[in-house]
Amino acid sequence: MRPLVYLYTFVAVAALLLWAGAGALERADGLPGTGAIIVYNWGDYIDPDVLRRFEEETRIRVIYQTFDSNEAMLAKIRQGGTPFDVAVPSEYTVSRMIAEDLLIPLDHAKLPNLKNIDPLFLNLPFDPGNRYSVPYFWGTVGIAYNKDALGDGAIRGWNDLWDPDYRDSVLLIDGVREVMGMGLNSLGHSLNDTDLEHLTAAKAKLDALTPNVRAIVGDEIKFLLANEEAPIGVVWSGDAAEVIDENDAFDYVIPEEGTNLWFDTFVIPKTATNVDGAHAFINFMLDAEVAAQNTEYVRYSTPNREALAYLPPEITEDQRFYPDAETLRRLEVYRDLGRTMLSTYSELYLEFKMHRK
């Protein structure tokens, strides 16, 4: 993947230069310059047609850059080298960004479409009153498995993955909290555990999983599963939905031991140079029809209550991706554990990855 990073960097720099040049031409021609915004989002996490529609309707150009982890996104924004106008952190990272004074408070008067969000997804502990963030998508971390190959119902929880029959059969998403959380949950501990003895035990149990792990990968996990490169994958729920769309041999389960209930959000970093454009973009994404279109593309669960009316029942009634209240009660939201504890998680996770080599 490293050559792609250089390619994306080149494209991003070229786009910035083109934007600057186009803005100068607009001013020279006496046209009102509408500017641009730089959006920093997860890979493959927005419908390109939605971006084009936003540009057409607002005349605000979107320069789009991607990241592959909350930690990478946070490090880039801390550096302050790129003037990101909108970013899409997960809930525990929002808490960290608030604590580090990295975000601009939102002007709710410029976000009239915020009324479309289900109140269940507002005023959550990581950002009371949604002063700094608004919901984008939500979902779970779970297990996609090939029911045709393994048998329907073969996988019900995390501990099933340690079955010796699944040697070289499991793909893991490359995420610190996700993989460490799997280890903690499999032992009956919280995803937010800070007990070093529990964390060390979770890492040891992950080491025991090594013979069953075929690879630890990024966004490509959904393509590998859909193409049956492996029969089991630890994935985010939206990736599982895409896999099932491509290959109906797969099913998705929310582990019986519990797992993560996550929220990704829109925020405006203090790096922003077009705050009005950022608000316009966020409000556009909160429009019910736009949110529905984007949900059908991304396949994660939308917090936009009004968008549900525009979505087919086979999406909104699928309890694997819109679980019932009883299931939701078994799930945990990641908390910001602080930089020191997060470093401990990261070190243990890196040791696990090195143990595989």
> What residues have CB less than 8 Å from 170, skipping those under 6 apart?
161, 209, 212, 213, 214, 230, 232, 233, 234
Distance CA 289, CA 267 (A): 21
Which of 97, 343, 1 minimizes the C-alpha distance to 84? 97
Q: Tell me the sheet residues that pair with 1.
A: none
Distance CA 269, CA 141 (A): 27
Distance CA 86, CA 280 (A): 11
Helix/strand/coil percentages in the chain, nearest 5:
50, 15, 30
Torsion of CA 172, 177, 180, 185, to 10 degrees: -100
CB atoms near residue 183 (< 10 Å): 24
**Structure tokens belonging to residue 178:** 């996700």
- What pLDDT does 6 receive? 36
User: Which three-class secondary structure state does DSSP give residue 120?
Assistant: helix
Residues of the chain with pLDDT under 70: 1-34, 357
Angle of the 176-186 helix axis to the 338-355 helix axis, nearest 10 = 80
Distance CA 218, CA 221 (A): 6
Distance CA 141, CA 166 (A): 20
Tell me, yes or no, if the pTM score tops 0.75: yes
- What pLDDT does 219 receive? 87
Please give the distance of CA 232 from its chain centroid, rounded to a whole number.
20
Q: Is 23 exposed, middle or buried (0-12, 13-18, 19+ CB in 10 A)?
A: middle
Read out DSSP for 183-252? HHHHTT--TT---HHHHHHHHHHHHHHGGGEEEEESTTHHHHHHTTS-SEEEEEHHHHHHHHHH-TTEEE
- What pLDDT does 27 receive? 31
Strands 134-146, 232-236: pairing is: antiparallel
Q: What domains does the chain contain, in order, with CATH numbers?
A: 2-137+263-316 (3.40.190.10), 139-261+326-355 (3.40.190.10)
Pair 304, 250: CB distance under 8 Å = no
Which of 242, 264, 262 minimizes the C-alpha distance to 252? 242
**Structure tokens belonging to residue 92:** 């525990």
- Residue bearing tokens 């990073």: 5
